[in-house]
Amino acid sequence: MESRLPVSDIAAPERAPEGRARIDWAWSEMPVLRRLYERFQREAPLAGLRIGGCLHITTETANLARVLVAGGAQVALCASNPLSTQDDVAAALVRDFGVRVYARRGEGTDTYYRHIHQVIAHHPQITLDDGADLISELHKRHPGQLNEILGSTEETTTGVIRLRAMARDGALRVPVVAVNDALTKHLFDNRYGTGQSALDGILRATNILLAGRCFTVAGYGWVGRGIARRARGLGAKVIVGEVEPLRALEAAMDGFEVMPLRQAAARSDFMVTATGDKHVIDAPHFAVMKDGCVLANAGHFDVEINIPALRQLAVDCSRPRRHVEEFVLRDGRRIRLLAEGRLVNLVAAEGHPAAVMDMSFANQAQVVAWLAREGRRLPHRVHPVPDDIDRAVARLKLDTLGLEIDQLTPEQARYLQSWREGT
């Protein structure tokens, strides 16, 4: 089967030099991964292993693949979103790093799934997911291959939710590590990574001034928190919509206005979704939106804004700029949708900056090495990242930033363990 597979399916092999230069630029911002690279080269913890990844094909992912290859793995990658692939990076991965890549920016749904199946045809022993599409296709269509799998990793909140649902239904047949839940992942990547890159995507797509504008964020998880803060930093008046009372309270005490999205829609110049749920912005919101309102999504799937409903309501639609679709409603109001409702940070910008992906992917690389050692012994459920890996990533990152921290004295350490000492 393997010999009949194309080695890759990429859009622009001639763009490898451009991709290589950008991968190396990102590498210079990824000191933790660089250290792991040296260790993996020395110790070859992945010797002979086949790894399949369904990840955004970006410069940062290329550097993760570079580390896995240094550890001795054969790596095959497909995209975890049809619009996030950086074609120059895909070309450089194939040319310079010996990675098999099946990903073309703008691929349709059929090609997207064909590419996932091409990665599956490599018979991966460890899988890496960002959204759980690879592992769920393996369960649905190739259950016979599941016993070849030592373990899987999941990079994003939405994927972890899907996998926990599979585990609850007794359907999960491999151990999965929720890399998303590592503290050195979501506290930084989801908050500062998406915070910066979602704003970057919105600004690149629209070039509209944010200062003084009303900017609504739907969802106050780590991603929503990051976006709300960065929008405020650019001078926007920020509203938060949230269904979970504790988070809503936190948003209020963080100084944001909190209200139902229907009210927010009537006031907003920008509305950005970061909830992980579907149809968060829907017909009732379109009905009251201001003329010119910009809509963007920062959640994993393109379901948060009800785009089919928007298309139905529209009497006209045009593309005034790259990544902007403008819908004109019957009463003449214009609603501007960015990046087809897909992840605005990866479609209209370049995804999270390398310095945060450094930590996310350092977790990934070390979890992969751990699964290579321990996977066979692990029960088929969703596991946390081992605490020592999470802490090691934090220590390494501090070290590479040149930051030192204090140590507890033995007396202080004992005090924290004891219940005998009091006032």
Tokens 């759980």: give the residue: 132
CB 286 within 8 A of CB 336: no
CB 16 within 8 A of CB 96: yes
CB nearer ligand ADE, residue 61 or residue 268: 61
Q: Tell me which of 50, 104, 204, 352 binds ligand ADE, using CB under 6 A.
A: 352
Assess 61 for contact with ligand ADE (CB under 6 A): yes
Assess 88 for contact with ligand ADE (CB under 6 A): no
CB nearer ligand ADE, residue 223 or residue 295: 223
* Shortest separation between residue 122's beta carbon and ligand ADE, angstroms: 20
Please identify, among the stretches 40-48, 56-64, 169-177, 231-239, the one whose residues bind ligand ADE according to the rule CB under 6 A. Answer: 56-64
Assess 154 for contact with ligand ADE (CB under 6 A): no
Give how far Cα 245 sits from Cα of 216, 222, 249, 258, 264, Å. Answer: 17, 15, 6, 11, 17
CB nearer ligand ADE, residue 58 or residue 74: 58
Task: Give the residue closest to ligand ADE by C-beta.
Answer: 351
Assess 58 for contact with ligand ADE (CB under 6 A): yes
Assess 225 for contact with ligand ADE (CB under 6 A): no
The residues, ordered by sequence, that sit 6+ positions from 177 with a Cβ below 8 Å of its Cβ are 151, 152, 153, 154, 367, 370, 371, 382, 383, 384, 385
Q: How many CB atoms lie within 10 A of CB 25?
A: 11
User: How is residue 197 written in tokens?
Assistant: 């890159």
Report the candidate in 121, 142, 45 with the shortest Cα–Cα distance to residue 375: 45
Question: Which residues on neighbouring strands pair with residue 271, listed in sequence order?
Answer: 216, 295
CB nearer ligand ADE, residue 64 or residue 236: 64
CB nearer ligand ADE, residue 135 or residue 289: 135
* Shortest separation between residue 255's beta carbon and ligand ADE, angstroms: 27
Assess 299 for contact with ligand ADE (CB under 6 A): no
The gap from C-alpha 6 to its chain's centroid, in whole angstroms, comes to 27
Assess 19 for contact with ligand ADE (CB under 6 A): no
Assess 136 for contact with ligand ADE (CB under 6 A): no
Assess 390 for contact with ligand ADE (CB under 6 A): no
Distance in angstroms (rounded) separating the CA atoms of residues 55 and 294: 27
The residues, ordered by sequence, that sit 6+ positions from 274 with a Cβ below 8 Å of its Cβ are 194, 198, 217, 218, 219, 221, 223, 224, 227, 297, 298, 299, 304
CB 84 within 8 A of CB 343: yes
* Shortest separation between residue 56's beta carbon and ligand ADE, angstroms: 4
The DSSP call for residue 159 is H
Assess 82 for contact with ligand ADE (CB under 6 A): no
CB nearer ligand ADE, residue 61 or residue 152: 61
Assess 357 for contact with ligand ADE (CB under 6 A): yes
Assess 56 for contact with ligand ADE (CB under 6 A): yes
Assess 132 for contact with ligand ADE (CB under 6 A): no
Q: Tell me which of 131, 224, 351, 375 binds ligand ADE, using CB under 6 A.
A: 351
Distance in angstroms (rounded) separating the CA atoms of residues 10 and 94: 9
Site string for ligand ADE, 189-218 (x = CB under 6 A): ----x-------------------------
The residues, ordered by sequence, that sit 6+ positions from 230 with a Cβ below 8 Å of its Cβ are 195, 196, 198, 199
Residues lying near ligand ADE in the complex (CB under 6 A): 56, 58, 60-61, 193, 346, 351-352, 357
